[in-house]
Amino acid sequence: MAVKIKTKDGLIDISNGVIATVVGSAATSNYGVVGMASKNAIRDGFDGILNRANYKRGVVVKSENNEITVDVYIIVGYGLKISEVSRNVQGSVKYNLKNQLGIDTKAVNVIVQSVKVLDE
């Protein structure tokens, strides 16, 4: 499934893998986000931090009428305000999707899978 954008010159298809990479990079660039988590940690048998190649395991993209809804699964650092970190992730993801891909987001849902103690 891909997002289709109609322009004056034709149709552009953007795959969910590309969207997941942009979303994952935007999310992990925020202070307090330790990394991306798998949306199905038990099924995948992986409860650690996803690397850049596996960001699509931690992002769910739902498309409708040139707008998308994105679910982002993250790991937050211990001792930080989860609501503030989540709000920053939402803003960053919306901005990067609009700025880099030209996609309007209907909603960005942030799901905190776990909290990890940061190494000092």
Choosing among 3.30.70.1350, 3.90.226.10, 2.40.50.100, 1.20.120.1200, the CATH entry for 3-116 is 3.30.70.1350
Whole-model pTM?
Answer: 0.83
Domain ranges of the chain: 3-116
pLDDT by residue, tens only, the chain of 120 residues:
577 777 788 888 888 888 888 999 899 899 998 888 877 755 555 556 665 567 677 888 888 776 789 999 998 989 889 999 999 999 999 999 999 988 889 999 999 988 888 665
pLDDT computed for residue 17 by the predictor: 87
DSSP 5-26: EEETTEEEEEEHHHHHHHHHHH
- The CA-atom distances, in angstroms, between 47 and each of 4, 23, 56, 108 are 33, 20, 15, 22
